[in-house]
Structure 1
Amino acid sequence: MGLYGVMTTSVSGMSVQSDRMGTVADNIANINTVGYKASSTEFATLIAEGSVAEYVPGSVSTIARRLISQQGDFTYTKSPTDLAVSGNGFFMVQSDAGTPYLTRSGNFVANADGDLVNAAGFKLLGYNLLDGSSSSVVNSAAGLQVISTSGLGMKATPSTSGKFGVNLPADATVTAAANLPGANAATAEYAGKTSIVTYDNLGHQVTLDVYSAKTANNIWEITVYDAAGSSASGGFPYTAGSQLATTSVTFDSTTGALTTASPQALSFNIPNGSTFSLDISKMTQLAANYSPQTGANAPSANGSPPSAVDRLEISNEGIVTAVYADGSRVDAFKIPLATVASPDNLTAISGNVFATNKSSGDLQLGTANDGGRGKIISGALESSTVDLASELTTMVQAQRNYTANSKVFQTGTELLDVLVNLVR
């Protein structure tokens, strides 16, 4: 090939150094891109065929190597939807067209529709725990949904259980049967009344009036009414259907506690609500005034009025929990992690996402922090893996090598000019 071979080889050398500079430029440009994986340029010789005694100039080619499996450092934030993966695995995201991809770029925020999207606009995917679709499909994104806060509106928690811990006076007067609260007469008499606030299925407040009246020595009647049915004066008689439950309890004359044979709880339905269990096992009959207990046994009930989501919490296993203003918690989504056999061979797509191919291996989905997959860190972002000092060094080397190859080309053209001038 002679001089033409020299020039062709030097052009090849300049071309690969240009490729190398392009890699450096991309890396430096993305030094602040969340989850960006630095690339490097590797070289391979291209040898022209020739005899043993003859040297034929060849050329050189480049192979771009993406260091996708390299772990980046963490930058911690105050946003629970900023996510990073410590270890193996990628978040599953999808484009506006619905195409699934893999990414380590976890700077997710809720858009106008409530969908969690990262800076490139890709939507985070996960399993919806609210409808029970939490089973992963191996080698597939089937079953994954866009994680969105739009379905986590206001929520009411109906009351299902409560406690009625009070002390009943041992020296109380026995009430005549006709005047017991359970008879619902205007002349009702009782030793004590305590009101407990509960909530129906829609979050409406339902106040329970709990009456205690002595029917015999160590025996008491406990009656529960819906306060909404009370008379205009706020007491008896209640309207028909307002009585929710009544029972008779017996106390041990020695200890003042309920006997083991005595009912330990009342079960009834909250109007427009759930079945409610009122624990009365901690009631006492002592020589003291009627008084509600304090602490763990104080008269109380669970449930809450409608409240909105206050914040999201995301565990290391990817469980997205909606925490409501009333303190209630609901596990809403599960973020899986995707792995492949050879992550460095994934196909890079614009937006700092990746697609699988034959070289990378099939997609595998599973729970974070399990089975060799990394854990998800909420309130953190994975920094770019670009080392600026190393990139600047590579840039200088590429510049020098490009210049050297250009000198070879220049020398080749000068020699060619000499050859051409010989025939003039």
Structure 2
Amino acid sequence: MSLYGTMRTGVSGMNAQANRLGTVGDNIANASTAGYKKASTQFSSLILPSAGGAYNSGGVNTTIRYSISDQGTFSYTTSDTDLAINGRGFFIVEGTDGVEYLTRAGSFQQLSDGSLVNAAGFKLMGYPYQNGVDPTIVINGFDGLSEINLKASGMNAVPSTEGYTTANLPANAAVGDTEKTSLIAYDSQGNSRKLDYTYTKTADNEWELTVTYHDASVTPAVDINMLPTSPLTLEFNAVGELIVPAGGTFNTNPLPIGGANLSGLTIDISGMTQLGKPFSSTGDINGSGASSVIGYEISEDGIVSLKYESGELVPTYRIAVADVQSPDKLNPLAGNVYSQSQDSGVVVVGYPANGSYGSILSGALEDSNVDIAEELTGMIEAQRNYTANSKVFQTGSELLEVLVNLKR
């Protein structure tokens, strides 16, 4: 073995330990970085061919491994836009360069323009979500994604379309007796419209129902019949169960009112009875009046809903997540994000809590998977090994000096 080879081997060892110290330093520095995945240095021997009884010294090679697939613990926060993935998958985010990346760092905050941006400045991406129907996912690409924006577009009103009424009509009522109740519906502009229900007994086990809208805003005030035909016949059997109308539902006519439209309503009355008890009635009609956004909610399956003053939750986006076959082979980039590599496999896009993808935790952050005690131990080992390799280099240098001085 040549003295130069001895020195090169020592330098190789020092470089390898310097790489290890570098990963240890990065890990310790990012021990409090949400979603950070630790790096480690792996060693492999470098063997050079030897011949004629002389040993040809080699050295050591290093490769860096990222523990991206190792999930960290969770810390819970007071912000609903702090997000974590419990299980497989990555958030899809967009950088200022307009390129999509993967990350587990979910410390998102709402900017003045409504976008959700994490601590590194990457915007959270998802799909627009309308009418409760999931959009079609582009499985192997990022087409169709848009930034999730929580900025409200003014006020919101949900027009009524259906409802139910459950009542008990007194079996001992006399023919001609009436009972009344009312329900509120909402037109296309979010105005509340009171619908009056009047039940009139016409014979044994038979009643007539009229549904009217009373408009007091005009002169003279008018009562508008809302039923397709005047009045609706209700028939009951001997045990007080509703048998007519068949199916237990009826429809009202649509009604234009002051520039708005009150939609035709489908009303379920299948729970109505005629028993020997006083009149009682409950019911509800869907829809809500005009109201402003007061907050938002993010469900475990990634649906982002705006919350209005009326209590209505309106789904507007669904967070998209992505995964690859070999997460540890992704390319780590600045900002705690990753990009696809040749060895990671292709990016596959899906929804949280669907298939193999993990669920969303709102108000939580995934901690770094760095173990400080393990890193400090590794730092001491690297320091000692670096010193030992420097001694090999120093010894080779001293022997080389002896060899040079033989000529004197």
Length-normalised TM-score, structure 2 = 0.84
Matched, 1:228 2:215: yes
Letter in 1 for 2:186: Y
Matched, 1:238 2:221: yes
Task: Please say if residues 9 and 59 of structure 2, whose CA atoms lie closer than 8 Å, have aligned partners that are also in contact.
Answer: yes
Shift of 1:140: 1.1
Q: How does 1:267-306 map to 2 (within 5 A)?
A: 267-271=252-256, 272-279=261-268, 293-294=280-281, 298-306=282-290
Matched, 1:30 2:15: no
Identity of aligned residues (%): 44
Letter in 2 for 1:138: I
What root-mean-square deviation, in Å, do the aligned CA atoms of Structure 1 and Structure 2 show? 3.2
Partner SS state of residue 28, structure 1: helix
Task: Please say if residues 191 and 289 of structure 2, whose CA atoms lie closer than 8 Å, have aligned partners that are also in contact.
Answer: yes
Higher strand content, 1 or 2: 2
Task: Please say if residues 28 and 370 of structure 2, whose CA atoms lie closer than 8 Å, have aligned partners that are also in contact.
Answer: yes
Q: How does 1:266-345 map to 2 (within 5 A)?
A: 266-271=251-256, 272-279=261-268, 293-294=280-281, 298-307=282-291, 308-315=293-300, 317-345=301-329
CA–CA distance in structure 1, aligned partners of residues 217 and 181 of structure 2: 14
Deviates more, 1:119-128 or 1:202-211: 202-211
Tell me the equivalent position of 1:122: 122
Shift of 1:342: 1.5
Partner SS state of residue 51, structure 2: coil
Tell me the equivalent position of 2:196: 209
Task: Please say if residues 221 and 248 of structure 1, whose CA atoms lie closer than 8 Å, have aligned partners that are also in contact.
Answer: yes
Deviates more, 1:399-408 or 1:254-263: 254-263
Partner SS state of residue 18, structure 1: helix
Tell me the equivalent position of 2:387: 403
Task: Please say if residues 80 and 314 of structure 1, whose CA atoms lie closer than 8 Å, have aligned partners that are also in contact.
Answer: no
Shift of 1:64: 0.9
Residue by residue over 1:228-257, the C-alpha shift from the partner in whole angstroms, topping out at 9 and shown as x without a partner, is: 34676xxxx634x84433314355596677
Tell me the equivalent position of 2:250: 265
Letter in 1 for 2:286: N
Letter in 1 for 2:80: P
Partner SS state of residue 401, structure 1: helix
CA–CA distance in structure 2, aligned partners of residues 16 and 151 of structure 1: 54
CA–CA distance in structure 2, aligned partners of residues 138 and 285 of structure 1: 56
Shift of 1:6: 2.5
Letter in 2 for 1:156: A
Change (3 A) 1:86 1:212: closer
Q: Which has the larger radius of gyration?
A: 1
Tell me the equivalent position of 2:159: 158
CA–CA distance in structure 1, aligned partners of residues 240 and 217 of structure 2: 32
| Contiguous gaps of at least 5 residues in structure 1 | 175-189
Tell me the equivalent position of 2:147: 146
CA–CA distance in structure 2, aligned partners of residues 248 and 25 of structure 1: 80
CA–CA distance in structure 2, aligned partners of residues 81 and 215 of structure 1: 60
CA–CA distance in structure 1, aligned partners of residues 221 and 207 of structure 2: 20
Residue by residue over 1:189-239, the C-alpha shift from the partner in whole angstroms, topping out at 9 and shown as x without a partner, is: x9455443221112112222344556778766544333334676xxxx634
CA–CA distance in structure 2, aligned partners of residues 331 and 171 of structure 1: 47
Shift of 1:286: 7.5
Tell me the equivalent position of 1:354: 338
Residue by residue over 1:315-345, the C-alpha shift from the partner in whole angstroms, topping out at 9 and shown as x without a partner, is: 2x33334443433333333333322122111
Residue by residue over 1:23-56, the C-alpha shift from the partner in whole angstroms, topping out at 9 and shown as x without a partner, is: 0000000101111111111123333444241222
Task: Please say if residues 93 and 100 of structure 2, whose CA atoms lie closer than 8 Å, have aligned partners that are also in contact.
Answer: yes
Task: Please say if residues 27 and 375 of structure 2, whose CA atoms lie closer than 8 Å, have aligned partners that are also in contact.
Answer: yes
CA–CA distance in structure 2, aligned partners of residues 66 and 216 of structure 1: 82
CA–CA distance in structure 1, aligned partners of residues 139 and 31 of structure 2: 34
Shift of 1:89: 1.8
Length-normalised TM-score, structure 1 = 0.81
